[in-house]
Amino acid sequence: MSRLALVTGGTRGIGEAISVNLKEKGYQVVANYGGNDAAAQAFTERTGITALKFDVSDYDAVQSAVAQIESDFGDIDVLVNNAGITRDTTMHRMSFEQWDQVIQTNLASCFNTCKAVIEKMRQNGFGRIVNVGSVNGQAGQYGQVNYAAAKSGIHGFTKALALEGAGKGITVNAIAPGYVDTDMVRAVPEDVLKKIIATIPVGRLGNPNDIARSVLFLVSDDAGFITGSTLSINGGQHMY
């Protein structure tokens, strides 16, 4: 029987690539999304992957959604915490709402989802959790105090949970993508984007499949001896 994977933020950009790559490798996939119903419907029609709407920053909504997934499909074997937002501005202009929205969606969501699946993974003696951090959580970025704090927090969260899960057959790892060719990155002004690409030694933005392939490896049986690690995928932009 194929393993069941939940990918948050799994219908667009990097998340879509992860969902599709997992399905192509034989996983049963449920892709979470937060708000764009039309995009999610198009994603399901295009890929055949179930898309389920819930707010990953809402603890109760996550617990309810995971219970629904378990009822409909079975226990979740693989969790990919990919959901994320940006609310970029400098600290002296940043509102508490801009800070809190990013922390809740990008970081607190990892607690919410892991809390919902960890007990079953412990009982089953198997689990694969991959948390999506960022190069900007490693190196920092101007105008992203909220985003960098959340993504940096993911890296510490990953290490601590990995220690708890190691004896129960659960691996917990993180990936730290650099700048990837997605709608979020393409929204950056063209002159700024050119400057960013100039700092990437390989000379290009990443492709969503560059990121998805790393997730495929980390959730595979071949990666069973890897836990608590962060894999940087940034074209050499930041060697951490």
Q: Give every strand in the sheet of 170-177, ordered side by side.
A: 50-53, 28-33, 4-7, 78-81, 127-132, 170-177, 230-233
In this predicted structure, what is the pLDDT of residue 164?
A: 98
Predicted local distance difference test score (pLDDT) of residue 61: 98
Residue 139 has pLDDT above 80, yes or no: no
Angle of CA points 191, 196, 198, to nearest 5°: 95
Domain spans, the chain: 4-233
pLDDT digits (tens, 9 = 90+) for 10-59: 999 999 999 999 999 999 999 999 989 999 999 999 999 999 999 999 99
Taking every pair of Cα atoms in the chain, the longest distance, rounded to a whole number of angstroms, is 53
The 10s digit of each residue's pLDDT in 66-108 is 999 999 999 999 999 999 988 989 999 999 999 999 999 999 9
Residue 79, H or E segment: strand 78-81
Structure tokens of 126?
């198997």
Judged on CB neighbours under 10 Å (0-12, 13-18, 19+), 130 is buried
Token readout for 31 is 């892709």
The top-level CATH class assigned to 4-233 is alpha beta
Q: Is the pLDDT of residue 191 over 90?
A: no
pLDDT in the model for residue 116: 98
| Tens-place pLDDT, residues 205-239 | 999 999 999 999 999 999 999 999 999 998 888 88
Q: How many CB atoms lie within 10 A of CB 109?
A: 28
- pLDDT attached to residue 142: 86
**Catalytic residue positions, numbered:** 147
How much is the mean pLDDT over the chain?
A: 95
Check if the beta carbon of residue 75 is closer than 8 Å to that of residue 69.
Answer: no
